Amino acid sequence: MKLFFVYIMTNRSRTLYVGVTNNLERRVFEHKNHLVKGFTSRYGIDMLVYYEITQNAKVAITREKQIKGWLRSKKIALIESMNPEWDDLSAGWFDRPDSSGLRPSE
């Protein structure tokens, strides 16, 4: 079963980035380590604050576009509905070499 993720990442200044991927752990690692040039590396986007999971790529892409079109206030409300403290949901994912940050049950 293939999974797709729509996610929101931020930095200490709370600059928001909305993305979609089929491998959230890999993509977050890339953001945290600034491996891809562009917006996220330029602004130090390195904290995962929200994500959704679906089994359908088209649904994920449509949802990403929907969220990107929202006003900032609506994006913030979405984040705070799941993560009111704006914790880094990926904290600890990469601390242990044998760990997998995202569990299948999530």
pLDDT tens sequence across 15-49: 999 999 999 999 999 999 999 899 999 999 999 99
DSSP 1: -
Task: Give the model's confidence band at 97: pLDDT under 50 very low, under 70 low, under 90 confident, else very high.
Answer: low
Nearest alpha-carbon partner for 11 in 37, 38, 48: 48
Q: Dump the DSSP string for 43-100.
A: TT--EEEEEEEES-HHHHHHHHHHHHTS-HHHHHHHHHHH-TT---TTTTTTTSTT--
Residue 7 identity = Y
User: What is the pLDDT at residue 98?
Assistant: 56
Q: List domains and CATH numbers for the chain.
A: 4-82 (3.40.1440.10)
Residue 18: strand, helix, or coil: strand
Q: pTM above 0.85? A: yes
